[in-house]
Amino acid sequence: MPSASEFSLTPSANTTIGGTNVAEGCSPGGINEAIRYMAATMRDTYDRLNITGSYVPTSGGTFTGDIFRSTRGAYLHHAGSGQTDGRVMFQTEGSARPAGSEGLIVFYYT
């Protein structure tokens, strides 16, 4: 089965593709087979991606349900659009409130 993991990130190190020699000076007859092998590898990689639905836009967009970071818990979100500061800060008790806009969350500890 073709697999993208068999290739090197260094182009000059990829002298064979699917067992076919594609090094400098190789037989031109094997190039077609190497191209077919690469096409099969791309399709196998695509099938393994398990893409469902659409991509998340880099700005705007809407989510439904809870969103979690891998191994880091949930994303913070505020109820109002005016709460634009999403930082969470930990300060020693008695410290002045840090400067920030609406939505800054400060925990004081002793």
Which positions of the chain have pLDDT values less than 50?
Answer: none
CA-based nearest residue to 76, from 85, 86, 84 = 86
Buried b (16+ CB within 10 A) or exposed e, 37-76: bbeebeeeeeeeeeeeeeeeeeeeeeeeeeeeeeeeeeee
pLDDT of residue 69: 66
What's the pLDDT score for residue 77?
A: 74
**pLDDT for the residue numbered 95:** 92
Tell me the whole-structure pTM to 2 decimals: 0.46
